Every structure is written in C-alpha cells, then in structure tokens.
Structure 1
Amino acid sequence: MGAEPLEIHLDDQDIARSLRRDVRVGLTAREKWLPPKWFYDTRGSELFDEITRLPEYYPTRAERAVLAQRAAEIVELTGAKTLIELGSGSSEKTRLLLDAFTQHGDLGTFVPLDVSVSALEGSTAALAADYPRLRVRGIVGDFTRHLDRLPTGGRRLVIFLGGTIGNLLPGERAGFLAGMRAALEAGDWLLVGTDLVKDPAVIVPAYDDAAGVTAEFNRNVLRVLNRELGTDLDPEAFSHVARWDPEQEWIEMRLRAERPVRVRVLDLDVGFAEGEELRTEVSAKFRPEGIAAELATAGFRAERFWTDPDGLFGVTLAQAD
C-alpha cells in the first residue's frame, strides 16, 4: 500500500517554543534541569545509535531478545489490525514485530509517531518498501501531547519501547498512562518496555561508558542550546555525571560545571558555580509488580510480563479494561 504523506501536528515553531519554555523553567529552577528530548538533534541521534551498540549498554540488546522470542506470541494474543509506535525513531526493533505480523497476523496499518520529520520520512519510506502490503501512516507529534491524534478503529496495539517510559517522572508517567488509556478503547493493547532494577554495577556503566560516547551525548544538549538559542556555552566546561539514586531507583545523568560559568540565554543571565550540576535525564528502573500497578491505576490489565534470559529488561503486554 505504501507510505502516506506525513500527518504533522508539530512544526518547527512548536519545537522552538517548547525549547524556550523548557530552558526558561529549567535553568531558573533551584536545581537546574533540562528534559532529555533536547539531546536528539541529528548528531544526538547518531550518538545514541552508537551508544546502543556499546558493550556496556545492555537495554537495546535485552529488549531485542525479548521481542525476538515473543513476537509470534504477541501477534497471537493481540490480533492487532493497527500497530502504533510511540517515539518510533528508525523503528528498527519494531521490524521484529512487523515480520511476525506479516507472517502470522492480519495487520493492515503501521503508525509510527515521532517528533522528527526527517526520521519519519526516512523510516516510513523504508518500511513501505520492505512491507508493500502494509499501509504506513507517519505522525509527527509528541507522545506527551498528541495521543488524541492516534487513529481510531480496529483492534490496536500501541508499543512504547526502549525503556523511554522511565524518562518520565512518576507524576508524568501517571499522566501519560492515563492519556494513553483515554486514547484507546476497551480491548486495545499496550506493549511497554521497562529497564529493571538490578545491581547498580550493571546499570551505571550503561550510562557512563569507557569510550566516553555517553558523555559526548550528554554534552550535546549544550550544543543544541548554542545552535538554537545563540548561546555560547562551552561543552568542555562541563563533565558528565551518571549517578544511581537507590531511593528513587533511577539513574540520573547530569552535567557538572568544572569552573564558574556565566551565560546569556534568551533574556536570562544564567550562572553555574564550580561543581554545580544540571540534570539532563532521569531513567527510572522498574520492578514487575511496580509497572503492573501503574498500569492498573491507569485502567490497563497486565496480561504478560517477559524478560530476556539474563533478567535485565522487561516487556509488559497490557490490555485496556
């Protein structure tokens, strides 16, 4: 059937406004922060792809192992006619599911949603070529804002992979899952990937690799600010920090000022004392009973929970009540 023209709910002006808002709020907070979505310009996406291939970074490999083993079962359990992917990127892991649906199911439509026009243009064209019987309908949007724009009708399976749900703070997760349930009908399905609580000696190196790729990825947010807002932050003035929080059971990525830094951003005069940190990402880790409880609160019933052979990463299949 081929790829349809992209459905655009997010344009450059929306993105620019969102960046300015996040910078204004985050850099004036008592403890400075920025959301992790600003890592991902073209260079940031390239760096993250490199991270997923590092020996320390287990989540991508572990989740892929689960999907490879369970794809046919997911097809059988859901019987989905429409597959929707949130934060799709290249949809590389999703091909395991698309292959299974092509072989064993009756899937008619694939809907990748992502904030990047260029990423979607490339992925939808490639997917349409590789799955010619599939209708591919790309949506340019933000999964925290545009769930109400998802296509309706038919039995739907929404997938949210990569442990990305862990980048949301608990209140944000609750809001996202409630919005997800509101966008679905009873009987629709949600497949969500979650990194699991484990020894911090395994978790921390995944966010602080020996080659320094994650450090470069972390500093890339400063280069995004420099380019988009005309600032002159020196990325080399900041060191990369990855810290495990045992109480919250999440890892934080931070940038630590190695010397006093002062910069003009928008109409703000922003200063960093030596040693002051800017939080750039939270990545929550989950326990099986915890993600099941969060899903239940939002109106989903966890039907299956799978892990890779080493028990590093979990994939939950839940149905909307």
Structure 2
Amino acid sequence: MVTSSTGFASACDADYAVASCYRSIDRDEGMEIQRGFFGEVPSLPSKYFYDRVGSELFDAICELDEYYPTRTEASIMRESVDEMVESIGPAGRLIEYGSGSSLKTRLLLEHMHADVTYVPVDISGDYLNQVAENLRRDFPQRRISPIAADFTRPFRLPSSTASQARDVVYFPGSTIGNFKPAFAATLLSQMRNQVGTGGGLLIGFDLQKDPAVLEAAYDDRRGITALFNLNLLRHLNRVAGGDFDLEAYRHIALYNDQEHRIEMHLESCREQTVSLVGRTRTLAKSERILTELSHKYTVDGFTEMAAASGWKREQVWTDANEYFAVGMFRA
C-alpha cells in the first residue's frame, strides 16, 4: 500500500511558512547529496530528516508503542542516573550531539552540578532555539549554549569557565548506528579529539534482537515513520532544488541480517525523472532510495569499535530484556 502524503502536505505548509524552518545547503552539502543520489544505488543523507517538522515527527515516533528504543533508554537512564552522573564526574561542559528535544538530557541536568554548561548541538536551528529557551526557563541557574551545526563535521565549542573540569559528549538514542561502521569510527574519533585526554562519552546504542521487533519499530501501524521518511524529500525540495512528488513513493523498512542493521528506503511507485541539486535522475518503478541505516550492536562489538577510536569502556547499563545499552567511556 502506498503511503499518502496529501494530509501531511496540507498540515505542514503553514508551519513551514511561519517557522522558516529550512536553510540553504552549502557547496560541500550539495556534493554530498550528489554522491549519494546519483551513485549506483541512490541514497540520501539521513540528516535531512531533521528540519522543524521532521524533528516534531521524530518526537511523535518516540511515543509510539512499537518504537522501543526511546522508552527503553529512558528507563535505563531513570534507574541508573545517579551512577551515570557519578561516572561523568565534575564536567565543565556536557555536549549533546543531535540534541533534538533534549528530553532524556533533562534527567541528567536535574542531577548534575549547576556549574555544568549544557551545549546542545542540532542541525535544525529553529527547533534547537525553541528547545533551548524551554530549558533556560526550567533550569534558570544553568548555562545553556546551543550550537546549530551538522555534528558530523567539526564545530567550534563555546568557551568554558571551568578550566579544570573535563568535557563530556552525550550521544543518546543510538544515533551512532545511523552511520556505516567506518564513518561511525571517524565520528567517535572526532568526539575523542574534541574532549581531549580524560574527557568522557556517555552514549546509547541499540542491541541485536528479534528482527520482527526491529522491523515493527521502524514501520509503525499509524504510519508516522512513513511520514517522517517522506519529509526528507519535502525538505530537500526546499533546500536543494528537488522536485520529488511525495505521492509517488512508499516507505520500506527491512532488517539486513548479514549487516545487523535496519534499512529504511523510499520506493518509487512509477518510473519518474527527478531533479536535485541541478542534476536529474530517472528512477525505475520499484527502484529504492536508501534513506537511513540503523546498525544494531553487541556490547563487546561496540566496545571494540570505540576502543579503535581511542575510548576505554568504564561502565555499561542495559535493560532487563537487553534491548538497549548506555555506555560510559573515557578518552
């Protein structure tokens, strides 16, 4: 069945007009899109899920019954937050990559010392600023320093007043799994270089499990994940000169057992020619565009990948079903 986007389009147009929630891409981003979409197997960078509407759709996904990662990670955080804060120690800055709504971070902020500066980093600038304002209201004594940036590239941190305290990266939600292993290792190395020797990394990662559980989590009955996937095309139409017809694609989610990952695709419902970043490509009927990967790990396998990027595992917390893990690593 083809997922319809008509209602989604009418609901979102006014939000876009009012919020100005898109931005223009730069030359490097245009080249990145070209390499993916015009390659042998078409793909699109998953970071373009996250304009304001995409961020709000993802928040809705996190509330779905099928989507276990958010509630499972949150339960781990609630049960072990005191141990996590103790493991983090006297941090100067807590730097969250891909902060989104910062909901899980609130639990850490409630328990950490008031002098810790919170640095949320997110590609969706409007949404980020809205979240930061809410945090300043709820945590008036804490310094909140948002950075609108693509965290897959190096970015400059705000100055810290706590010269003797270490920096800690917080990377929840198993977002690390959205990258192929080689790039995930590169990103872990970037984090390692950013915090320096003695710095910390508190990171969530999804564990291998029954494929039926995984596929349901990425293809919910209500179709919210399908709308989230289609929003990537809408976003690229606005920022990258695309002319995708959202009615002409359907959402696909499947588990690749060999690579231990969920793959999300958008399947073309007919033969069509698409323009994007100044070039055109013809898609055959049933040809798929890869939009997201979500790798699933074992604790030992993830520890090995982190060690190769300069991180030493200190502690790992999991749930009773061993669906998800949160790990503390030291540089």
CA distance in 1, matches of 2:294, 2:260: 9
- Of 53, 61, 65, 1:55 maps to 65
In the other structure, the counterpart of 2:111 is 100
In the other structure, the counterpart of 1:214 is 225
TM-score by length of 1: 0.90
- Deviation beyond 3 Å, 4+ runs, structure 1: 15-19, 147-153
Are the equivalent residues in 1 in contact too, given 2:206–2:323 (CA < 8 A)? yes
In the other structure, the counterpart of 2:184 is 173
- Count matched residues: 306
- Of 130, 147, 152, 1:144 maps to 152
Are the equivalent residues in 2 in contact too, given 1:192–1:316 (CA < 8 A)? yes
Are the equivalent residues in 1 in contact too, given 2:94–2:169 (CA < 8 A)? yes
Q: Deviations over 1:43-75 (max 9, x none)?
A: 211211111111100000001011111111111
- The alignment yields a C-alpha RMSD, in angstroms, of 1.8
After TM superposition, give the deviation of residue 169 of structure 1 in Å. 0.7
CA distance in 1, matches of 2:302, 2:134: 33
In the other structure, the counterpart of 2:102 is 91
> Which residue type is aligned with residue 123 of structure 1?
V
TM-score by length of 2: 0.88
CA distance in 1, matches of 2:237, 2:148: 25
More displaced stretch, 275-284 vs 130-139 = 130-139
| Equivalences for residues 15-30 of structure 1 within 5 A | 15-30=25-40
In the other structure, the counterpart of 1:162 is 173
User: What percentage of aligned pairs have identical amino acids?
Assistant: 41
In the other structure, the counterpart of 1:44 is 54
In the other structure, the counterpart of 2:124 is 116
CA distance in 1, matches of 2:129, 2:267: 36
After TM superposition, give the deviation of residue 78 of structure 1 in Å. 2.1
Are the equivalent residues in 2 in contact too, given 1:263–1:270 (CA < 8 A)? yes
CA distance in 2, matches of 1:88, 1:192: 12
Q: Deviations over 1:225-262 (max 9, x none)?
A: 22224433211211111111111100100011121111
After TM superposition, give the deviation of residue 147 of structure 1 in Å. 4.7
CA distance in 2, matches of 1:186, 1:238: 47
Distance 1:286 1:254, change over 3 A: same
CA distance in 2, matches of 1:313, 1:20: 35
In the other structure, the counterpart of 1:308 is 319
More displaced stretch, 163-172 vs 135-144 = 135-144
Q: Deviations over 1:99-145 (max 9, x none)?
A: 111xxx46431111112221221122221221122111112222111
CA distance in 2, matches of 1:297, 1:125: 38
More displaced stretch, 52-61 vs 151-160 = 151-160
Tell me, yes or no, if structure 1 residue 131 matches structure 2 residue 114: no
Unaligned runs of 5+ in 2: 1-21
Are the equivalent residues in 2 in contact too, given 1:80–1:107 (CA < 8 A)? no
CA distance in 2, matches of 1:110, 1:160: 13
